[in-house]
Structure formats: C-alpha cells, structure tokens
Amino acid sequence: MQRYKLLDETGKVLGTGPTEEAAIAAAAANMAAGSKQHCAATSLTSQAVIENFLANEDYELVAMAS
C-alpha cells in the first residue's frame, strides 16, 4: 500500500495520507492558526494555498511505501 507525504522547502512533513488529496487536506488542516486566519481574511482556503505552493514547486508531494 502506498502513502503520500507533503514536504515544505526544508523537507519538513506537513501532512500525510493514503492519497495525494488526503495528504494535501492533512497539510491544510495542520496549517498554523494564524495562517488559517489570514487565508480566511483573504477569501482563500488553506487547501488552495497548499495547492499553490505545490504548483510553484515550493512544496513537494512524494509517494512512500507503507
């Protein structure tokens, strides 16, 4: 079975899950409260911010064997 992990630019694991979507959702859920408040104030979702970092290659989504 494969699992996915989402890493920031330093290699810190931000979230993991059984699918890419679950790993992104976990990273969004783990986002700092202040960052979540900022997202809400700018009408963005935490998940959209995470996906933007992935698109810009600031974050990396990798598969790992479990």
Please give the radius of gyration of the chain, using alpha carbons only, rounded to the nearest integer.
12
59 pLDDT higher than 70: yes
Q: Which two tokens stand for residue 55?
A: 């698109």
pLDDT digits (tens, 9 = 90+) for 11-49: 999 999 999 999 999 999 999 999 889 988 999 999 999
Bigger pLDDT: 65 or 53? 53
pTM of the model: 0.87
Mean pLDDT within 49-54: 93
Query: Residue 63 and residue 41: Cα distance in Å, rounded?
Result: 33
Query: Residue 46 and residue 48: Cα distance in Å, rounded?
Result: 5
Instruction: For the beta carbon of residue 48, count every other beta carbon within 10 angstroms.
Output: 13
Query: Residue 27 and residue 50: Cα distance in Å, rounded?
Result: 7
Mean pLDDT within 49-62: 94
